[in-house]
Copies of this chain bind each other. A is one copy, B any other.
Amino acid sequence: MVAGMQSRITPPARTGGRPRSATADAAILEATRQGLVELGWSKLTLSDVATRAGVAKTTLYRRWAGKSELVVDAVAELFDELELPDRGSLAADIEGVVLQFALLLGRPETKTALMAVVAESTTDAPLRERIRTSIVDRQKRLVLAGRARAQERGELPAEPDPVSAARTADLIFDVIAGAVVHRALVSAEPVDTEWARRFTLLLLGGLAAAADAP
A residues apposed to B, CB below 8 Å: 40-43, 108, 111-116, 118-124, 128, 131-132, 136, 167-168, 170-171, 173-175, 177-183, 185-189, 195, 198-199, 201-210, 213
Contacts and interface: CB of A to CB of B under 8 A. Distances in A.
A6 B35 CA distance: 33
Contacts of A183: 174, 178
List of 6 A-B pairs having minimum Cβ-Cβ separation, nearest first = A205-B209, A178-B182, A178-B178, A206-B206, A40-B123, A115-B119
Given A195-B171, A205-B205, A185 B122 contact: yes
Q: What is the copy number of this chain in the assembly?
A: 4
Nearest to A185: B118
A204 B209 contact: yes
Contacts of A195: 171
A179 B189 contact: no
Given A119-B41, A122-B40, A178-B179, A209 B210 contact: no
Contact of A186 (B136, B168, B171, B175): B136
B182 A186 contact: no
Contacts of A182: 174-175, 177-178, 181-182
A171 B202 CA distance: 9
Nearest to A38: B123
A28 to B, nearest CB: 20
Contacts of A179: 174-175, 178-179
A193 to B, nearest CB: 14
